[in-house]
Amino acid sequence: MKLQNLLLLSPLLFVACAGQTWQADVGPMFARMRGEIALQNTAGNIPAANSQNSLSGNMSLGDTEVSPYLRFETNVDRHRVRLSGFYVDAEGSGTLNGDFGDITSGTQVRTTLDFFGIDGTYGYQVLREQHYRVAVGGKLGFYSLDVAARSTGAREEVITEVIVPMPWVEAELMWEDLTLGANAGIMAGDLGDANGRYLDLEGYGKWQVTEQFDAQVGYRYLLLDGYGRASSRDFDADIDVQGLYISAGVRF
């Protein structure tokens, strides 16, 4: 069975299992985006890699944005399935350092950015003692990026979407009601709209306030470094999305 199908079906495999727990968490994420992006012109005579523009500098899209962060998790025996997602949108204005599509360098532009990320992970516990656990498995992420620039009489936009399967590992340390954890997924390949490398890292601390309620603080780092085609033109995106999140959860 393909990894994508396994991740999608895993929650259904655990329905009505004895000893199963379910948990939902929600809270704000203080996310920011960094990196560079380029879009080839319609004539195709300028390589995208030669016309990079900084998201935080030239496009003024690097401010910290408050975004919703959602997570759903179920555990049974040695198995854990987790779904999480967040959305970032930003607006700015700046001066292009390089051509962006048919908008030439030096032009003042109004810019917008929309990023959506959702992922599912399946982990199988391979080590467990009183104060630690280690799990290995797979992550399937869907990432969508939309960056647009507008000047007087012109508008250019890059829209790219990619589905990324990754090997995944997670480690946790437990002491009474406190859990400290970290997980990581990594992949390189020709996926969706782009050929690139992808990295998803997370570190977190969780306090089990009561048997049903917990509070969590974590940090998420996501790297998307891809080169491909969007709207029949080459694009080059080397960006990262990262930020602190704070959530409250309920177990049932």
3-state secondary structure of 107: coil
| CA–CA dist 58, 77 (Å, integer) | 50
Note the pLDDT of residue 193: 74
Note the pLDDT of residue 17: 58
Note the pLDDT of residue 231: 66
| CA–CA dist 168, 177 (Å, integer) | 25
Note the pLDDT of residue 1: 42
| CA–CA dist 4, 89 (Å, integer) | 27
Reported pTM: 0.87
| CA–CA dist 74, 252 (Å, integer) | 10
pLDDT in single tens digits along all 252 residues of the chain: 444 444 444 444 444 455 689 999 999 999 999 999 999 888 777 677 678 899 999 999 999 999 999 999 999 999 999 999 999 999 999 999 999 989 999 999 999 999 999 999 999 999 999 999 999 999 999 999 999 999 998 999 988 888 999 999 999 999 999 999 999 999 998 877 778 899 999 999 999 999 999 999 999 999 999 888 776 788 888 999 999 999 999 998
Going along the chain from its start, the domains and CATH numbers come out as 3-13+22-251 (2.40.128.90)
CA-nearest of 162, 150, 147, 149 to 114 is 147
Q: How many Cβ atoms from other residues are within 10 Å of residue 49's Cβ?
A: 15
- Using CB atoms within 10 Å of the CB of residue 169, give its burial: 0 to 12 exposed, 13 to 18 middle, 19+ buried: middle
3-state secondary structure of 50: helix
Structural tokens at position 191: 């996926």
